[in-house]
Chains A and B, each alone.
Chain A
Amino acid sequence: MARLELIDLSKRYGEHAVVKGVTLDVAEGEFLVLLGPSGCGKTTTLRMIAGFVEPSGGTARIGGIDVTYLPPWRRNTGMVFQSYALFPHMTVMENVAFGLEMRKLPKGEIAARAREALRLVRLDAFAERLPRQLSGGQQQRVALARALAIRPAVLLLDEPLSNLDAKLREEVRIEIRELQRQLGLTTIMVTHDQEEALTVADRLVVMADGEIRQIGTQRDLYERPADRFVAGFVGRSIFLDGRIVEPGIFESAGGLRLHSASHVPPGPATLALRPERLSLEPERSLDNRLPGRVEFVSYLGAVLEAHVRLSPADRVVVQLPNRAGSAPSVGDEVEVGWSREAGLVFAGQERTGAVEERT
């Protein structure tokens, strides 16, 4: 339970920079999630905190103490690995007690604390089993208990749920979150799964190409993405290319003049729209109301998605609630509308190479 500070932490392999100056301040008891596509440097950052990767520059502090060049066994971080990395020749109990033994605690205390950690993950009945006699979900909980038993200053979770099936993953992530809150543990989790990240985090860090793109709460990232990459990576956005022609007016590649509340100076720009903020039955008062033709409809159960062509160069996706009798069909002439606040404009049209959707 301690504050974690990373100051301009970086890692280079030869000429190749994997992490380019990451600065983070994680408060005591905070659950921070590093989110990003594979290869963005999030795992390397986590491994630098654990001490498995030596930083090329910068500083890492745990509880105010500089740990930048401390070996892993002197750091008091508790890590849960993607592969769980349980000791195969030791029982569940011996696995959980290992870290306490290394701390040279008296025998009685080791047994008591190991048992307590197993009780926390509801595995006290399995103490004498070997890891291979447990299911994947149980192994995952042993790994968690092993990390919790040492009462780490910082809990590190490296894609801890990626080897579980979808249903179990939802249960376990809520369980982890509740345990973390109950114990008040400073926690860093790495994941590429945005739903997972949004469920558990107090704050999220979006990373790409070894850099932090944005730090904030779920709402910050979703409502006010810092750049086009974040807008495409967190939640879903439809992008229209074009330019700002005068303050508040975006002109698309297809020549549509659209109102926007963004303060981007005139020049090339990209407009990002969230499909659920668009409507096919726009109120009279909306700033942007445009005629279009439905080209494609996906039926997703609770919601429908209509792909609507607004001009030869512009197509948007509109998400609608699935109400009886209101489904549009392909070829329908419709009117699409959204408020000026719903459209986010980013200067420039650079391709970030990130996950984004073209229509």
Chain B
Amino acid sequence: MDATLAPHRLDALSAGARPRADARRWGRWALNGAAALSLGFILLPLLLVTWLAFFRQEIPSFPPEGYSVRWFGAVANNKIFVNGFLLSLQVGIAATLIGLALAVPASLAIARRRFFGREPINTLLLMPLVVPGVVLGTAIYVFQIETEIATGLPVLGSTAGLVAAHALIVIPWAVRLVTASFAGFDPTIEEAAKNLGAPPFTTFRRVTLPAIRPGIVAAALFGFVMSFGNLEMSLFLVGAGRTTLPIAILQYLEWKIDPTVAAVSVLQIVLIGAAMIVTDRYVKISQVV
């Protein structure tokens, strides 16, 4: 008797609190639903491309006639893709290193010093992110032609010219991420190092750099991805017969639509995904981004 009565009484007691708890539960459902929807929206193209890469038939059509890994072999045997991949890799690494070498000192100054023109310079360093890639590409194209005319050096179409342009799109990411990592850094830690006998450069190397390392690693990763995937700007700047991977994919698509392109994309997704997972193991990027 008591056992049946007790829940009943509890129900009566909590009747007033019930609508609020219900509202909270609905809110949680709505939030989770929206999150799942957004995630699906982001992942769907990736999943479709991955699926497509394993289709056996040459013309992508649904449903697939069967599955095969031969398109991955086709990628490996395609000289244009392989060379494009290597060029993109080279340019991406070089541009990231140059971009970081410029962005870390710039971030240090912006985060630490109060100088005239600090805000405008900060904005200027973020500009390449805002300017559309085509505009940026055109501008650099014209600039490189003019430089070539003025100096006689072969700038346009050279790897150096491409690397310089790519460094430009690495900088905004690097500056953003590295300045953000300075925000949580207590400058008295540097004073402590100096007090213990460390000259300025040693202090930077032993104390400051380790503290901002997550920001730098994240900056390197994002910068590399931005450079590796860049199409619009690179279109203007590559030389004859030397194409980056995104351009190689675009050119391939002009003639063929077989799943080779999907296979290349899958390789690219796996590469970048692996890079993110590996770096996250050593440095918690999620703390910075």
Contacts and interface: CB of A to CB of B under 8 A. Distances in A.
A76 B197 CA distance: 7
A87 B191 contact: no
Interface string B185-220: 010110111111111001000110011000000000
Contacts of A74: 197
Contact of B194 (A71, A87, A88): A71
Interface residues of A, number: 26
Contacts, number: 62
Nearest to B187: A85
Contact of A73 (B189, B199, B211): B199
Interface string A73-94: 1111111010101111100000
B189 A102 contact: no
B181 to A, nearest CB: 13
A71 B199 CA distance: 9
A85 B211 CA distance: 13
Contacts of A83: 186, 188
Contacts of B198: 73, 98, 102
Interface in B167-191: 186, 188-189, 191
A146 B192 CA distance: 10
A86 B189 CA distance: 6
A320 to B, nearest CB: 46
Classify the interface of chain B: helix, strand, loop or mixed.
helix
Interface residues on B, range: 10 to 19
Given A50-B191, A72-B194, 20 more contacts: A73-B194, A73-B195, A73-B196, A79-B191, A79-B192, A81-B188, A81-B191, A81-B192, A83-B188, A85-B192, A87-B189, A87-B207, A88-B189, A88-B211, A98-B193, A102-B196, A102-B198, A146-B196, A147-B195, A150-B197
26 contacts: A52-B194, A72-B194, A73-B198, A73-B199, A76-B197, A78-B195, A81-B188, A83-B188, A85-B186, A85-B188, A85-B189, A85-B191, A86-B189, A87-B189, A87-B207, A87-B210, A89-B210, A98-B193, A98-B198, A102-B197, A102-B198, A102-B202, A103-B197, A146-B192, A146-B196, A150-B196
Interface of A: 50-52, 71-79, 81, 83, 85-89, 98-99, 102-103, 146-147, 150
